[in-house]
Structure 1
Amino acid sequence: MDVTFNENKENLGVSGNLNKIISINNCEWIKFLAGDDLLTENCITELVRFSNLNDYKIISSRCITFGDYETVLPLESKKCFYEMTALEQFKYLGIGNFVMAPTLFYHAKTLKKLGGFSEKFKIIEDLPMLLTYTKNNIKIGFCDKILVKYRIHSSSTSLSRDKIYYFRGS
């Protein structure tokens, strides 16, 4: 397995950084990981196995949070999202996003074909991309295994109401 590390000379924002990684890689699948999140020992093996058995172009998994509190996500009550069609998922994402960004596994060619991450949103990469996938009738698949350890802390941008940026899609 090849692992690519890249250091940018300037701050590109989250979306710009991810697009840079996409542009320098020539792999079938891409797994992004923030510096404070962890993969389980079998994460990549399980995601590759799942991708070989299914025809999804984007895959999510379960995660366990650590830091301020510990819980397994998604909650059982939210797993029905993954049984929906892509267009139903699109509508659901318009109400709210519970898909945890660290769990996502992207088919590289599809990610490139969709134009990568929108750089209009410097710190919110996951929801705009999930909307792009589902709007293009690409369903988000689900591997029902805990494959990521997701750090949750009170100063996290994703939890801070004063740092949330809203957007309106076309």
Structure 2
Amino acid sequence: MVECETGHPLVTVIVITYNSAKFVRETLNSIRSQTYAALELVITDDCSSDATVDICRKWIADNNSRFSRTELITVGKNTGISANCNRGLDAAGGEWVKIIAGDDILEDACVAENIRFVLSDPDIQCVSCQITVFSDDLRKCDQVVLRDDLFELPQKKQLRYLLTKGNFIVGASVFFNAQLVREMGGCNERYPMLDDYPLILKIYQAGKRFYLLKKPLVRYRVHGCNVSLNPNSLFSVSLWKFYDEVIPGLLLEQGMFLHYWHAKVTAFKRRFPENGNVFRKLVRAGLSMLSPVSYVMALEQLFDET
């Protein structure tokens, strides 16, 4: 166990930045305000073209004494979110890691509550907390309540949900054991804008799971530059590439043959965009009829609406 002079486990907070000049001071100030003392700060920048690096460098100079260690990592070319996270993980000296984007905010007790939670049970190595979504106006906040029932499922059923329904674990909410993440190989840089989902699936494939901490400890900022909110962004390219290349094989490993067929049909459908001509729409409709899972999903949606 890596401990500070306080006797508490050292936590590395990794701030990933890219053109974050507008918001990064708020992010860093929220880390400085943590009630937990044993903190290391690593800021890793992905070749920002604005003043992000200068702001971070000055902030570190003014607040260095708050942390056991600080480091600012810069690169000469843009590499994507996954590689940026990995540089932070490689530099982390703490036993536990909290990754936060350079536009989000940690509540004051975020690290302390996570440490209290993981120390309550030695089986807990990965945590997901509740989050609050907010716009640039801090007064406009909405708490996102993660579904308790999903986290209460057995580990294998959680994995099956991740494979068939998508990622129910919000990346901004995650707090995890640094050694475990290194054993998983960190983020998959083949999918440069998709840092969390491939890593979470690796953790579940290894027989581990996430535990829900039922407290809102992170504020996730929604603004026009969020890559995950733009359907035509590089994030979507990484996401669908991951779905097409990885998910079908994992479904086969789990013996989920109908879902495997559905994944292959869905991948083929993406060759015919929804905004295409009538012929493309007819092809998409015909392909949907080839997958039994499509009928099940349609029925589920019908019951959800009634």
Q: TM-score, normalised by structure 1?
A: 0.91
Q: How far off its partner does 1:96 sit? A: 1.6
What is the aligned partner in structure 1 of residue 66 from structure 2? none
Equivalent pair of 1:93/1:131 in contact (CA under 8 Å)? yes
What amino acid maps onto 2:42 in structure 1? T
2:183 to 81, 92, 113: 113
Q: How many Å apart are 1:121 and its aligned residue?
A: 0.8
Larger CA Rg, structure 1 vs 2: 2
Structure 1: stretches of 5+ with no match in the other structure: none
Which residue, 44, 51, 60 being the options, matches 2:118?
51
Match of 2:145 among 68, 74, 78: 74
User: Out of 86, 90, 95, which is 2:159 matched to?
Assistant: 90
Tell me: higher relative CO, structure 1 or 2? Use CA pairs within 8 A at least 6 residues apart: 1
Report how far residue 155 of structure 1 moved.
Answer: 4.3
Deviations 1:99-122 (A, max 9, x none): 211110010000001111100111
Shift, 1:24, TM fit: 1.4
Partner-residue secondary structure (3-state), 2:161: helix
Gaps of 5+ in 2: 1-38, 44-71, 250-306
> How far apart are the structure 2 equivalents of 1:39 and 1:62?
12
Q: What amino acid sits opposite 1:59 in the alignment?
A: V
How far apart are the structure 2 equivalents of 1:129 and 1:85? 19
Amino acid across the alignment from 1:87: K
3-state DSSP of counterpart to 2:132 = strand
**Other-structure match for 1:34:** 101
Match of 1:61 in 2: 129
What is the aligned length? 168
1:70 offset after TM fit, Å?
3.1
Q: Which residue of the partner structure matches residue 283 of structure 2?
A: none
Tell me, in whole angstroms, the C-alpha distance in 1 between the residues paired with 2:150 and 2:129: 12
Give the superposition deviation at 1:2. Answer: 2.0
Structure 2: which amino acid aligns with 1:47? N
Give the conservation status (yes or no) of the 8 Å contact 1:63–1:72.
yes
Residue 301 of structure 2: aligned partner = none
Q: Which amino acid aligns with 1:57?
A: Q
Partner of 1:15: 82
Q: Percent identity?
A: 27
Runs of 4+ with >6 A deviation: none
Q: Give the alignment's TM-score, normalised by structure 2.
A: 0.52
Distance 1:158 1:98 in 2: 14
Q: Distance in 2 between matches of 1:107 and 1:86?
A: 18
User: In 2, Cα distance between the equivalents of 1:100 and 1:135?
Assistant: 18
Q: More helix per residue: 1 or 2?
A: 2
- The 2-side partners of 1:9 and 1:156 are apart by 21
Structure 2 residue corresponding to 1:152, chosen from 198, 222, 226: 222
* Letter paired with 2:202: T
Question: What secondary structure, in the 3-state scheme, does the structure 2 residue paired with 1:161 have?
Answer: coil
